[in-house]
Amino acid sequence: MNTDQAGTPNNYLKAIRLINIGEDRCAFEIGKIPIRQHINAHYFFAQTDVSTLENIPHPAPRRQYVITLKGKLRFTVSNGETFIIEPGIILIANDTRGEGHTWEVVDGNEWERIYIPLEDGSDDYFIAD
């Protein structure tokens, strides 16, 4: 089987996108992003601290990809729904206003991640399931 054929599962990474919905609330969508896709970004940074925003509702400070390298987290959105982020699942933080989301580490006490801020107006390449 050729893994370079369009439409095969190996051509995508699993992704979850946080979004704003009416009344400045937050929800999420499950989907994917294509591999080998150029992202319009000029820098990235890494973070390991988990004490600053864990369990505190907050919106994303900017549109960004969040790439988890180590850790397993439960995210909760405004309506109480939850999802799990762990290595292999890309988080696209697009909930830049309102209540935002919370998160908590559910396995261990570490979250190593890389943030890739997206340029204003650029496509995040997310494809909803």
Whether the per-residue pLDDT at 8 is higher than 70: the answer is no
Q: Residue 9: which pLDDT band, with cuts at 50, 70 and 90?
A: low
Domain assignment present for 128: no
DSSP E strand boundaries for the chain? 12-21, 25-34, 45-47, 64-76, 82-85, 89-93, 102-117, 127-128
Question: Does 108 have pLDDT greater than 50?
Answer: yes
* pTM of the predicted structure, to 2 decimals: 0.88
pLDDT at 64: 96
pLDDT tier at 7, thresholds 50, 70, 90: very low
User: pLDDT digits over 65-102, tens only?
Assistant: 999 999 999 999 998 999 999 999 999 999 999 999 99
CB 105 within 8 A of CB 72: yes
Structural domain boundaries enclosing 52: 44-83+93-122
Rounded mean pLDDT, 3-18: 74
As for how many domains the chain has, the answer is 1
- pLDDT tens digits for 12-64? 999 999 999 988 899 999 999 999 888 878 889 888 888 777 788 999 999 99
The rounded radius of gyration (Å) of the Cα atoms in the chain is 15
Residue 15 pLDDT: 98
Residue 106 lies in a domain: yes
Let me know if residue 9 belongs to a domain: no
Is the C-alpha dihedral spanning 50, 81, 123, 99 positive or negative?
negative
- Is 75 a member of any domain? yes
Greatest alpha-carbon span in the chain? 47
**Alpha-carbon distances of 123 from 6, 33, 38, 70, rounded to whole Å:** 20, 11, 10, 26
Inside any domain, residue 59: yes
> Does residue 35 form part of some domain?
no
Contact criterion met (CB below 8 Å) for 5 and 59: no
The answer as to whether 74 is a domain residue is: yes
50 in a domain, yes or no? Answer: yes
Beta bridge partners of 93: 18, 64
